[in-house]
Amino acid sequence: MSFSTCCGAFAAIILTAFVTAGCGETVIDDAKTEAAIEQNVEASVGSKVAAVECPSGVEVETGATFDCSVSLADGKEETAAMKILNEDADVELADLQPAK
């Protein structure tokens, strides 16, 4: 089963993932976001995740999106579009598509 056919199962990824950086900026905690994506993908699809890579230093801005790369153990690559929901750094999976 591909991610794009079961994306509704992933909409449940909502987590608070923030860390305060030096200049008073609040940024998304990429490690927490990666762990949440991996756990949800493995539980929802039953496919083993080899790696998840999210960018570091993403500033918290309500409504902003950022992409994470998801590598499955079978070699398939997916792109997870994450959306920042609020200034508390709650994020959700907005879309999951095969990597281009």
What is the average per-residue pLDDT within 70-74? 93
Q: Is 32 helix (H, G, I), strand (E, B) or coil?
A: helix
Domain spans, the chain: 3-98
- CA atoms within 13 Å, Cβ hemisphere of 4: 7
Name which of 1-15, 22-36, 50-64 the model is least confident about: 1-15
Residue recorded with tokens 């790696």: 51
Instruction: State the chain's maximal CA–CA distance in angstroms.
Output: 43
pTM comes to: 0.78
Q: Residue 39 pLDDT > 50, yes or no? A: yes
- 18 with 57: CB under 8 angstroms? no
